Structure 1
Amino acid sequence: MKPFGNSLLTAVAASALCATLLAACGGSSDRQETDSDPVAEADLHTENDPVHPEHGGKPLATGAPVFASLYPDATLDQPVIVADGSDGPGGMAEFTTAATPDDVISHYRRLASEAGLKPVMAMNQGNARAFAALGATGAEVQVVASRDENEATSVQLTWKDGR
């Protein structure tokens, strides 16, 4: 019997993250996507939203916390999905970067820690890495990163602001 491949693991992890995000946002029908050009700077933030140069990334949505910023030099694969539920706004983004999965997880682990979130889950399985952190106010971030067949790193990031 042949074991399951890493792509299955990544697909299962990404599906779990999507389900968690929907549950966290209370299944709100306020779901919306950003404009159709996912890489345009205006789609990622407004003048009132800080660009986080010290972290290298732009907020993934208007008002998104620092730990929900685009990884430096990453490219969004599709428009960011945002939702607003009874426990605050949140979203999901999928992007690709040349960085390693370990570097991506390390980056988001640092951002989460700086924002006061505490790690609650970490996973290393084959070429896939995952990390999740929670804050006292209900803020959370979950990141899954894995290398694809082209040696790029595919990342799925979900967050909830917890306001």
Structure 2
Amino acid sequence: MKVYAKTIAVMVLTGSLAACGDTGGNTPVADAQATSAKDTSKNTVTPVETADLQPLAANAPAFASLYPGATLLQPPVTANGVDGPGGIAEFTTSATPEQVIEHYRALADTNGLDPVMAMNQGTARAFAALNAKGAEVQVVASPGEQDQTSVHLTWKSGH
């Protein structure tokens, strides 16, 4: 299953990076109040409690946070390049791939990122969003071992 998730992650990265332009700017940060985002595919509202988010790295945007109750497999890898700071994290959670993707879809929407890709491949799910300032998030979630969902998340804060 790990190869499956990593294959999707490469496809997500390739597709969304090709669609990105260098427009500069700062990433919007969510306020510390509960917010909600609309999932247009199901026409439902999913609440996101941003006050309890655990950033994956120092100064990481709200959409680059650890899924609630998840366990990091190793410390996130971070970098600060010409496109701004960003990173990669891998973690597991007892939530389903659908729940994980919906959580990050809501966080992206709350933080002003627009969806650019959503994909279902068997039981794996992927989602990517970005904004005009270069901020982006990409999430791949797939069933793993022992009823855990394996998640690969990449982010870029933008300029």
TM-score normalised by length of structure 2:
0.74
Confirm or deny: 8 A CA contact 1:21 1:91 kept in the other structure. no
Select which of 10, 23, 30 maps to 2:5.
10
Offset of residue 15 of structure 1: 3.9
* CA distance in structure 1 between the partners assigned to 2:33 and 2:88 by the alignment: 19
Select which of 63, 87, 105 maps to 1:91.
87
Matches within 5 A, 1:62-141: 62-141=58-137
The aligned counterpart of 1:44 is none
Q: Which amino acid aligns with 2:8?
A: A
The aligned counterpart of 2:143 is 147
Q: Which runs of 4+ in 1 moved over 6 A?
A: 18-24, 50-53
Confirm or deny: 8 A CA contact 2:12 2:126 kept in the other structure. no
* CA distance in structure 2 between the partners assigned to 1:159 and 1:108 by the alignment: 11
Offset of residue 21 of structure 1: 9.8
Structure 2 alignment gaps of length 5 or more: 21-30, 35-48
Rg (Cα) greater in structure: 1
Structure number with greater CO (CA < 8 Å, separation at least 6) is: 2
Change (3 A) 1:17 1:90: farther
Confirm or deny: 8 A CA contact 2:16 2:128 kept in the other structure. no
Secondary structure of the 1:66 match is coil
Offset of residue 83 of structure 1: 0.5
Alignment of 1:159 onto 2:155: yes
Alignment of 1:59 onto 2:55: yes
Looking at secondary structure, tell me which structure has more strand per residue: 2
* CA distance in structure 1 between the partners assigned to 2:151 and 2:4 by the alignment: 13
Offset of residue 136 of structure 1: 1.2
Structure 1 alignment gaps of length 5 or more: 1-5, 25-49
TM-score normalised by length of structure 1:
0.73
Q: Which amino acid aligns with 1:98?
A: S
Alignment coverage as a number of residue pairs: 133
